[in-house]
Structure 1
Amino acid sequence: MLIRIFDFLFSFFGLLFLWPILLIICVLGYFDTGSPIFRQERVGRNQKPFTLIKFRTMPVNTQSVATHLVGASSVTKLGSFLRKTKLDELPQLINVVKGEMSLVGPRPCLFNQKELIDAREARGVFQVLPGVTGLAQVNEIDMSTPEKLAEWDEKMIQTMSLKNYFTYLIQTATGKGSGDRV
């Protein structure tokens, strides 16, 4: 319950104070791809679908698959910058405010990632809200290794505490972990 309160407060005030940056990225994204906001159905808590919101980092017509399956040439120049700085994740603060995500939790996968869904189901990972960042992300484990990712997600869930919550947030904000490998 305390983590949900922190999630809401940090996300709400993040959106409140960062709206000028969000607006600038939207304008730049409009010139970059013609459609700066990316929405995609993802697997949420208890495997219920929700719509993830991010800044678009690839052209509009890019195939809807896991990032590691898309070629690096598909990422735009602005998209590359947004990914390196993790600014492409900022719109997910809306998902956190709405209660669909937490700031810290397992990264939400696509419904077509059957191997990852099965591995996470077996480990009880879907019992918690998906997150913007987590233990796997700060340790450079992405969705290209589904079994390993599910294992680290389970480890994060079992060891979650306020201290770890803040540790993962600080590590993400200071650039630990490279995110998805593209």
Structure 2
Amino acid sequence: MEYKEREIRPITIDVDRQHKRYGYRAIKRGFDFLASLAGLVILFPLFLLVAIAIKIEDPKGSVFYSQIRLGKNQTPFKMYKFRSMVSNADELLTRLLNQNEIDGAMFKMHDDPRVTKTGRFIRKYSIDELPQLLNVLLGQMSLVGPRPPLPREVEEYTDYDKQRLTVKPGCTGLWQATVRNSVGFDEMVKLDLIYISRRSIGFDLYVIIKTLIVFIKPNAY
């Protein structure tokens, strides 16, 4: 199932239909809760090793990094990650915005000077994202769904873009599991809307399996 080179037509999400999918949403939430709880327990030794590595490289900085993101219906929540950048990364961002390599309401820079050595490694294997299992456990996120954007990014959204905020955000999604960083903002939105319009238990499992493959054989970051 390839999406990178396929021409994708504009998609309109039937919000009412998505809201009424009670059975799917209940199963999805149950799976999210059990999987995130199991993941946090099983991955605790890895969490400890990553925390030690982050502290060795930058003793003054915190192990975790939290950031306000917008979830379903633009509801704000605090999203957690392992810190992969220098402690004053947010302050340095304003100096780097003119070097953004992606068009649209999102910032990406291939050789971001704010990223630490440990950060590059955990980003390559998406380990920095694992603390978001806590967000899933709390019901703020799902394992699969559109990535939650920053408030400043949503300020630049069109009504079309905002359709990706009609469902609960996810730790991984269709674009991360397939094309990842090789597409721009518009393509990311289209892939998110494809996921929302087609989402099902089977499609969620497909995205999760593709994501696990990325863990084993990561794309170039």
Per the normalisation by structure 1, the TM-score is 0.88
Cα distance in 2 for partners of 1:43, 1:162 equals 24
Shift of 1:69: 4.6
Query: Corresponding residue for 1:103?
Result: 143
Greater RCO (Cα-Cα under 8 Å, separation 6 or more)? 2
Across the aligned residues of Structure 1 and Structure 2, the Cα RMSD in angstroms comes to 2.2
* Residues 49 and 117 of structure 1, relative CA distance in 2, 3 Å threshold: farther
Structure 2 residue runs of 5 or longer lacking an equivalent are 1-25, 94-105
State which of 173, 177, 190 in structure 2 corresponds to 1:151: 190
Query: Corresponding residue for 1:57?
Result: 84
Cα distance in 2 for partners of 1:141, 1:116 equals 20
Task: Determine if contact 1:137/1:178 at 8 Å carries over to the other structure.
Answer: no
* Residues 117 and 143 of structure 1, relative CA distance in 2, 3 Å threshold: farther
Per the normalisation by structure 2, the TM-score is 0.73
State which of 100, 116, 125 in structure 1 corresponds to 2:164: 125
State which of 28, 39, 60 in structure 1 corresponds to 2:66: 39
Comparing 95-104 with 167-176, greater Cα deviation is found at 167-176
Query: Aligned with 2:67: secondary structure?
Result: strand
Task: Determine if contact 1:138/1:177 at 8 Å carries over to the other structure.
Answer: no
After superposition, give the CA deviation of every residue in 1:133-167 in whole Å (9 maximum; x if it has no partner): 01011222459722222111110011111111111
After superposition, give the CA deviation of every residue in 1:68-116 in whole Å (9 maximum; x if it has no partner): 0585222111101101111101100000000000000001111111334
Task: Determine if contact 2:178/2:210 at 8 Å carries over to the other structure.
Answer: no
Cα distance in 2 for partners of 1:32, 1:86 equals 19
- Counterpart of 2:179, as a letter, is E
* Residues 67 and 147 of structure 1, relative CA distance in 2, 3 Å threshold: closer
Cα distance in 2 for partners of 1:169, 1:89 equals 14
Cα distance in 2 for partners of 1:143, 1:108 equals 19
Cα distance in 2 for partners of 1:29, 1:50 equals 24
Task: Determine if contact 2:124/2:218 at 8 Å carries over to the other structure.
Answer: no
After superposition, give the CA deviation of every residue in 1:7-39 in whole Å (9 maximum; x if it has no partner): 111100000111111111112112223211000
* Residues 67 and 177 of structure 1, relative CA distance in 2, 3 Å threshold: farther
Cα distance in 1 for partners of 2:182, 2:149 equals 8
Task: Determine if contact 1:42/1:109 at 8 Å carries over to the other structure.
Answer: yes
| Percent of aligned positions that are identical | 37
Task: Determine if contact 2:125/2:218 at 8 Å carries over to the other structure.
Answer: no
Following TM superposition, the consecutive aligned residue runs of length 4 or more in structure 1 with deviations greater than 6 angstroms are none
Is the radius of gyration larger for structure 1 or structure 2? Answer: 2
2:176 is the alignment partner of 1:137 = yes
Structure 1 residue runs of 5 or longer lacking an equivalent are none
2:55 is the alignment partner of 1:30 = yes
* Residues 5 and 117 of structure 1, relative CA distance in 2, 3 Å threshold: farther
Matches within 5 A, 1:8-27: 8-27=33-52
For this pair of structures, how many residues does the alignment match? 178
- Counterpart of 1:132, as a letter, is C
